[in-house]
């Protein structure tokens, strides 16, 4: 039996003991907001928002819910629990099996519980960021993994007329995976799961996953857990406050007001000469202290080196300024939430 079939067989057994109650879905029907809510709530282990957002996405389009769960499992959890990741990909890739095995919600709620009980693992995503930001200026300790990852990204990604959007070449991704499989003696089961993950998520991350595994193992495999306290979460119109970033009307308007009400933050951002760089620095700092926070995360020496290398994209902003800005922003989140709530009520009225 192929790997995906075995994962489905194991899931079938586990699902017998799973009892799923359909939660009250979040009433907001904005799909991007629901996806952001699901992703960030899983990082914060906020069960109510996870199930509420997932249920609302299921009501809209089961295919999009499964693609989103697969993408989250890949980006934030795969290296922490490869078996759970394989189960997610196996379930997401077979509607007929889901129909026979209890239906979408029964299976999705079981797997979401698994993700809620698993620490986040950002090594794969940080490898991607480091390869994009500093392939020629990587830390010596990282060896060739950054260069190898950068070559794969260059080979597999295709630029579009929109600077922020890239697509991938399916054939180049699959060929690269096959080559990695031969070069690194990749397990056939993992290769099958990565191939399917690439098809399901349409992401380059499955191609980078074997590189991250090999590089992490070369550091000795000693892992620790990082525990964090997330900034305040406030319910605003049935949604958590941390989804209202600059990509939303409420978040964009609130950030403009926040800059006026928080002079210390405004002063630090104004130290950057370029207006575009100021906006980028502000948005990325807010994501680092709020939207991207993982309250339980895997760490090792590889993760720490990648964290440093992945921050090398801000030539205009010294590292000390970035850290100072993040500290100030973290303290001012309650003020930002006051403003978000005000903007939301004003918009609704």
Structure confidence by residue, pLDDT tens digits, 214-249: 888 888 767 899 999 999 999 999 999 999 999 999
pLDDT at 132: 83
112 in the same domain as 128: no
Is the domain of 100 the same as that of 159?
no
Residues 131 and 188 in one domain: yes
Do residue 343 and residue 231 come from a single domain? yes
Q: How far apart are CA 32 and CA 28, in angstroms?
A: 10
15 and 49: one domain? yes
Greatest Cα pair distance in the chain: 62
Domain of 21, in residue numbers:
3-116
| Same domain (yes/no): 240, 209 | no
Residue recorded with tokens 């305040």: 232
- pLDDT tens-digit readout, 68-110: 999 999 999 999 999 999 999 999 999 999 999 999 999 999 9
The residue ranking higher by pLDDT, 2 or 164, is 2
Place of tokens 């999705």: 108
131 in the same domain as 103: no
38 and 82 share one domain: yes
Does residue 241 sit in the same domain as residue 340? yes
DSSP state, 120?
A: B
Shared domain for 136 and 102, answered yes or no, is no
Given 165, 186, 218, the domain boundary residue is 218
Q: Pairing relation of β-strands 239-240 and 296-299?
A: unpaired
Query: What are the C-alpha distances in Å from 291 to residues 1, 31, 43, 95, 264?
Result: 40, 17, 9, 31, 21
pLDDT at 139: 57
> Of the candidates 85, 78, 68, which has an alpha carbon nearest to the alpha carbon of residue 120?
78
- How many CB atoms are located within 10 Å of the residue 128 CB? 22
* CA gap 190, 78 in Å, rounded: 11
Q: How many domains does the chain have?
A: 3
d(CA 110, CA 343): 36
3-state SS, residue 73: helix
Per the CB < 8 A criterion, the answer to whether 123 and 212 are in contact is yes
| Shared-domain flag, residues 8 and 64 | yes
Greater confidence (303 vs 111) lies with: 111
Nearest in space to 267 (alpha carbons), one of 196, 211, 329: 329
């Amino acid at each position: 039996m192929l790997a995906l079939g075995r994962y489905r067989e194991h899931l079938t057994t586990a699902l017998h003991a799973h009892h799923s109650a359909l939660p009250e879905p979040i009433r907001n029907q904005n799909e991007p907001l629901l996806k952001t809510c699901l992703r960030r709530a899983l990082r914060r282990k906020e069960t109510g928002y996870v199930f509420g957002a997932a249920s609302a996405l299921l009501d809209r389009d089961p295919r999009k819910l499964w693609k989103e769960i697969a993408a989250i499992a890949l980006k934030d959890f795969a290296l922490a629990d490869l078996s759970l990741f394989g189960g997610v990909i196996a379930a997401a890739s077979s509607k007929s099996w889901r129909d026979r095995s209890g239906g979408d919600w029964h299976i999705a709620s079981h797997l979401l519980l698994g993700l809620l009980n698993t620490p986040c693992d950002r090594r794969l995503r940080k490898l991607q960021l480091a390869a994009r930001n500093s392939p020629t200026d990587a830390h010596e300790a990282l060896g060739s993994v950054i260069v190898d990852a950068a070559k794969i990204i260059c080979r597999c990604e295709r630029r579009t007329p929109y600077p922020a959007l890239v697509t991938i070449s399916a054939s180049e991704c699959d060929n690269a995976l096959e080559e990695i499989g031969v070069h690194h003696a990749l397990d056939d089961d993992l290769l099958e799961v990565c191939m399917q993950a690439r098809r399901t998520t349409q992401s380059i991350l499955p191609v980078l996953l074997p590189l991250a595994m090999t590089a992490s193992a070369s550091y000795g495999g000693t892992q620790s857990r990082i525990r964090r306290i997330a900034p305040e979460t406030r319910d605003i119109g049935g949604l958590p406050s941390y989804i209202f970033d600059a990509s939303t009307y409420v978040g964009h308007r609130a950030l403009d007001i926040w800059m006026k009400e928080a002079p210390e933050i405004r002063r630090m951002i104004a130290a950057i000469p370029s207006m575009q760089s100021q906006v980028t620095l502000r948005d990325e700092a807010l994501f680092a202290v709020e939207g991207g926070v993982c309250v339980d995360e895997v760490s090792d020496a590889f993760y720490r080196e990648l964290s440093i290398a992945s921050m090398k994209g801000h030539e205009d902003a010294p590292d000390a300024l970035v850290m100072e800005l993040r500290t100030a922003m973290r303290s001012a989140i309650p003020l930002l939430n006051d403003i978000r709530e005000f903007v939301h009520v004003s918009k609704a009225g």
